[in-house]
């Protein structure tokens, strides 16, 4: 792990990255919120720019592009709205893509009734806290407190902890102004990335994975590409990371992707 802020910038060092790619074919894995789109007060307003969509479309015609998100799979797929991409939602528990690619992490299915119950309880427990939002994804629940008065954030956190105590099969996750409840299983974005590399037959020496992410849940994927790929962290504020390059913000992610797209032959 290293200090994210101290990493070399991926755009300033693009030639070094291209050298590392060499004649290999990149397999691109991207996070959505905070990486492909800027963080905004309401999740439904995190719209992918026209430019970003155009570049992702072009890239997906040349290489494998997967969006590995904490969002529900259907939600992130609808936000991106390109059927040439692979979508891994609920932090990798739910995957689908072109040519009939489908995977729902089976052990996670057992936690669905627990998630249903926790969603019901949390909706009740948090309904009177202004600005608090309970977002159900198939395999996770995010409790958003970005729009909650600072003085009430502690209350939100306590109520989530209270619910977690009743849920043996769920564990806590964190993110940007969210607390999550997810199946207490050893499955995450890193495992999903590894699964995809194998499933898509991308483990040969001719391929190189590139992962770009901005948040704590992205670190599992950064670790996977650390040895044999390229990991890039976006918005590297005061954090430890397994990534090897940084980018300032999602706008720079798109600039980086445009450069990668230009470099790849049609
Ligand atoms: O793994 P990601 O694709 O980055 O998803 C992580 C979470 O993203 C969303 O929440 C975050 O972005 C929102 C929109 O910018 C912001 O309002 C919120 O505060 C952030 O935490 C999404 O709503 C969650 O479900 C994802 O887990």
Q: In terms of residue numbers, what domain contains 152?
A: 110-183
Q: Which DSSP string do the residues of the chain spell out, in sequence order?
A: -EEGGGSPBTTTTHHHHHHHHTTSEEEEEE--BTTTB---SSGGG-PPPHHHHHHHHHHHTTS-EEEE-SS-HHHHHHHH--TTSEEEEGGGTEEEETTTEEEE-HHHHTTHHHHHHHHHHHHHHHTTSTT-EEEEETTEEEEE-TTS-GGGHHHHHHHHHHHHHT-TTEEEEEETTEEEEEESSS--HHHHHHHHHHHTT--STTEEEEEEE-SGGGHHHHHHHHTTSEEEEES--S-EES-SEEESSHHHHHHHHHHHHHHS--
Is the pLDDT at 266 greater than 80? The verdict is no
Q: Is residue 254 domain-shared with residue 229, that is, in the same domain?
A: yes
pLDDT at position 88, please?
A: 98
ipTM above threshold 0.85? yes
Q: Is residue 96 domain-shared with residue 216, that is, in the same domain?
A: yes
Domain boundary among 183, 198, 224: 183
Question: Which residues lie across from 144 on neighbouring strands?
Answer: 133, 178
CA 6 vs CA 185, 214, 221, 241, 248: distances in Å: 33, 15, 20, 10, 12
Residue range 80-120, pLDDT digits in tens: 999 999 999 999 999 999 999 999 999 999 999 999 999 99
**Of all atoms in ligand 1, which is nearest to the CA of residue 67?**
3
CATH of the domain at 98: 3.40.50.1000
pLDDT at position 2, please?
A: 93
Q: Is residue 148 domain-shared with residue 166, that is, in the same domain?
A: yes
Q: Name the closest-CA residue to atom 4, ligand 1.
A: 33
> Whole-angstrom Cα distance, residue 106 to residue 35?
28
Domain boundary among 183, 199, 233: 183
What integer is the mean pLDDT of 129-154?
A: 98
Q: Is residue 140 domain-shared with residue 234, that is, in the same domain?
A: no
Q: For residue 238, name the pLDDT band (cuts at 50, 70, 90).
A: confident
Is the pLDDT at 138 greater than 90? The verdict is yes
> Is 116 assigned a catalytic role?
no
Is the pLDDT at 143 greater than 90? The verdict is yes
Q: Is residue 219 domain-shared with residue 238, that is, in the same domain?
A: yes
Catalytic site residue from 31, 33, 94, 218: 31
pLDDT at position 265, please?
A: 79
Q: Is residue 12 domain-shared with residue 86, that is, in the same domain?
A: yes
Residue range 163-215, pLDDT digits in tens: 999 999 999 999 999 999 999 999 999 999 999 999 999 999 999 999 999 99
The structural domain count of the chain equals 2
Q: Is residue 137 domain-shared with residue 242, that is, in the same domain?
A: no
pLDDT at position 127, please?
A: 97
Q: Is residue 163 domain-shared with residue 192, that is, in the same domain?
A: no
Q: How far is the CA of 203 from the centre of ligand 1 (A)?
A: 30
Please report how the helices 50-60 and 250-263 are oriented relative to each other, as an axis angle in degrees rounded to 10.
40
Residue range 24-66, pLDDT digits in tens: 999 999 999 999 999 999 999 999 999 999 999 999 999 999 9
pLDDT at position 192, please?
A: 98
Q: Is residue 167 domain-shared with residue 214, that is, in the same domain?
A: no
First to last CA, the chain: 36
pLDDT at position 220, please?
A: 98
Ligand 1, CB cutoff 6 Å, lining residues: 31-34, 39-43, 46, 69-71, 135, 137, 142, 144, 146, 175-178, 215, 217
Cβ neighbours, 10 Å, residue 255: 18
Q: Is residue 49 domain-shared with residue 85, that is, in the same domain?
A: yes
Q: Is residue 47 domain-shared with residue 89, that is, in the same domain?
A: yes
Q: Is residue 174 domain-shared with residue 46, that is, in the same domain?
A: no
């Amino acid at each position: 792990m290293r200090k994210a802020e101290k990493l070399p910038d991926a755009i300033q060092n693009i030639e070094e990255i291209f050298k590392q790619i060499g004649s290999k074919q990149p397999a691109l894995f991207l996070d959505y919120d905070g990486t492909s789109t800027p963080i905004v007060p309401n999740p439904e307003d995190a719209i992918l720019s026209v430019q970003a969509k155009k570049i992702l479309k072009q890239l997906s015609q040349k290489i494998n592009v997967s969006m590995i998100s904490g969002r529900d799979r259907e939600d992130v797929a609808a936000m991106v709205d390109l059927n040439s991409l692979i979508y891994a939602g609920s932090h990798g528990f739910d995957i689908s893509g072109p040519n009939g690619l489908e995977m729902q992490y089976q052990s996670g299915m057992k936690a669905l009734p627990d998630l249903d119950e926790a969603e019901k309880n949390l909706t009740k427990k948090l309904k009177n806290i202004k600005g608090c939002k309970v977002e159900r994804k198939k395999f996770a629940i995010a409790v958003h407190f970005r729009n909650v008065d600072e003085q009430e954030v502690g209350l939100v956190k306590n109520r989530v902890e209270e619910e977690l105590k009743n849920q043996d099969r769920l564990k806590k996750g964190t993110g940007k102004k969210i607390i999550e409840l997810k199946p207490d299983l050893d499955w995450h974005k890193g495992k999903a990335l590894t699964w995809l590399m194998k499933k898509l037959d991308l483990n040969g020496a001719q391929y190189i994975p590139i992962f770009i992410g901005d948040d704590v849940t992205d670190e599992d994927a950064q670790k996977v590409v650390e040895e044999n790929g390229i990991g890039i962290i976006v918005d590297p504020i005061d954090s430890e990371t397994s990534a090897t390059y940084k980018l300032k913000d999602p706008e720079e992610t798109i600039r980086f992707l445009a450069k990668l797209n230009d470099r790849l032959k049609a």
